[in-house]
Amino acid sequence: MKVVIVGAGAIGLLIGSYLSERNHEITYITRSTVQAEKLRLQGITLIQPNGEKVNTQVQAFTDFRLAPTEALWIVAVKFHQLTNLEKELQSLSLSTTLVFVQNGLAHLKWINRLKHQDIYIATIEHGAVKQDATTVLHKGVGLTKIAPHIMTSKAPIDISIFQTSFFQSEMVEDAYTIVLRKVVLNACINPITAILQIKNGELITNSHAFHLMKSIFEEILLSFPEISQTLTFEDVKELCVKTSQNYSSMLQDRLNHRKSEIESIVGVLLQMAATKERDLPLLRTLYYLVLALDEKGESFE
């Protein structure tokens, strides 16, 4: 099967490497011509959780027009990068199946602009670190959840495409539910790690950070009690343990002088709480602290 992946960050490289194990033909769309050239020449090097290195060959371009149109398209970019891709995505055939990998709720509203017949949402709870333009380190094994957002064809996506030894996936019914779960996980972990500049595991071992994370979760639960059906604080702790040696994506953004996803993760959550006439004072404080770091920050990509 031909698969096009838009975005060659840590998660994009991780997905492509594992999908290539299933003998799928992988093509990347990257922002950088340098990265595209390196991917074509060197392929992807995946360092698996067991330490084994696996190299796979891929195609890569910066021009959408060079990618195969008769393919599954996976969009693995941050929310603030989506606007720049709208024209290219709209140019794809309406029969093209799109899968959006996302961290925040803001994607859902944006995706409604598209007219494609089959659009899926995916959330990924793996730990991955991009070591260089072509190398990704898989540091925490989690679960990929996929749900239909818009589906007009009779045949659902074949979930077996996303199944390998270290990359397990499941199909669920409700996109909003899995995205809200992912957002709450990120809201509990990412801002604290970005502010304190600590690894995920230190949210467990540092008693004060742990108390803050637990308080954030309990505060969110008061405004969104429905989250208790799919997420417990034990799940939050488990993710911290599984990815204990990881730097969260928000901390990686800070360390690499990139704009964070605080708006699409925490900002949207605060807006949703406001519509319920609820406030999240602890989370709001973290929100402004990360915004201050963004403003202070350096040049954004």
Kindly state whether residue 301 falls inside one of the protein's structural domains.
no
Domain of residue 95, CATH code: 3.40.50.720
pTM of this structure: 0.87
Kindly state whether residue 76 falls inside one of the protein's structural domains.
yes
Tokens of residue 172, six digits: 């669920």
Kindly state whether residue 145 falls inside one of the protein's structural domains.
yes
The reply to whether 18 and 156 lie within a common domain is yes
d(CA 6, CA 182): 21
Q: Is the pLDDT of residue 13 over 90?
A: yes
The reply to whether 47 and 191 lie within a common domain is no
Per-residue confidence band for 300, with pLDDT thresholds at 50, 70 and 90:
very low
Sheet containing 53-56: order of strands: 53-56, 44-47, 135-140, 127-132
Is-catalytic flag, 182? yes
* Domain-terminating residue out of 129, 151, 173: 173
The reply to whether 85 and 211 lie within a common domain is no
Our measurement of the distance from residue 255's CA atom to the centroid of its chain's CA atoms, rounded to an integer in Å, reads: 18
Sign of the four-CA dihedral 295, 298, 299, 301: negative
Average pLDDT over residues 268-294: 95
Q: Is the pLDDT of residue 125 over 80?
A: yes
**Look-up of token digits 């693995």:** 76
- Name the DSSP class of 167: B
Catalytic position from the list 38, 78, 145, 182: 182
Residue-averaged pLDDT of the chain: 92
* Domain-terminating residue out of 173, 195, 230: 173
The reply to whether 82 and 203 lie within a common domain is no
The reply to whether 104 and 72 lie within a common domain is yes
The reply to whether 23 and 123 lie within a common domain is yes
Say if residues 19 and 136 touch (Cβ distance below 8 Å): no
Kindly state whether residue 156 falls inside one of the protein's structural domains.
yes
- Name the DSSP class of 134: T
- Name the DSSP class of 65: G
The reply to whether 21 and 158 lie within a common domain is yes
Amino acid identity at 116: H
Q: Is the pLDDT of residue 115 over 60?
A: yes
Domain of residue 287, CATH code: 1.10.1040.10
Question: What tens digit of pLDDT does each residue of 63-103 get?
Answer: 999 999 899 999 999 888 888 899 999 999 999 999 999 87
The reply to whether 185 and 160 lie within a common domain is no
d(CA 95, CA 116): 6
- So what's the pLDDT on residue 61? 98
Domain of residue 282: give its range.
178-296
d(CA 288, CA 293): 9
Average pLDDT over residues 9-21: 93
How many other C-beta atoms are found inside a 10 Å radius of the C-beta of residue 140?
A: 20
The reply to whether 231 and 95 lie within a common domain is no
* Domain-terminating residue out of 138, 153, 173: 173
Greater confidence (294 vs 105) lies with 294
| Number of domains the chain is built from | 2
The C-alpha angle 123, 136, 68, rounded to 5 degrees, equals: 70
The reply to whether 191 and 50 lie within a common domain is no
d(CA 11, CA 74): 11
**Look-up of token digits 């990265």:** 35
Kindly state whether residue 114 falls inside one of the protein's structural domains.
yes
d(CA 57, CA 75): 20
- So what's the pLDDT on residue 65? 93
The reply to whether 32 and 91 lie within a common domain is yes
Kindly state whether residue 43 falls inside one of the protein's structural domains.
yes
The reply to whether 222 and 197 lie within a common domain is yes
- Name the DSSP class of 113: T
Per-residue confidence band for 139, with pLDDT thresholds at 50, 70 and 90:
confident
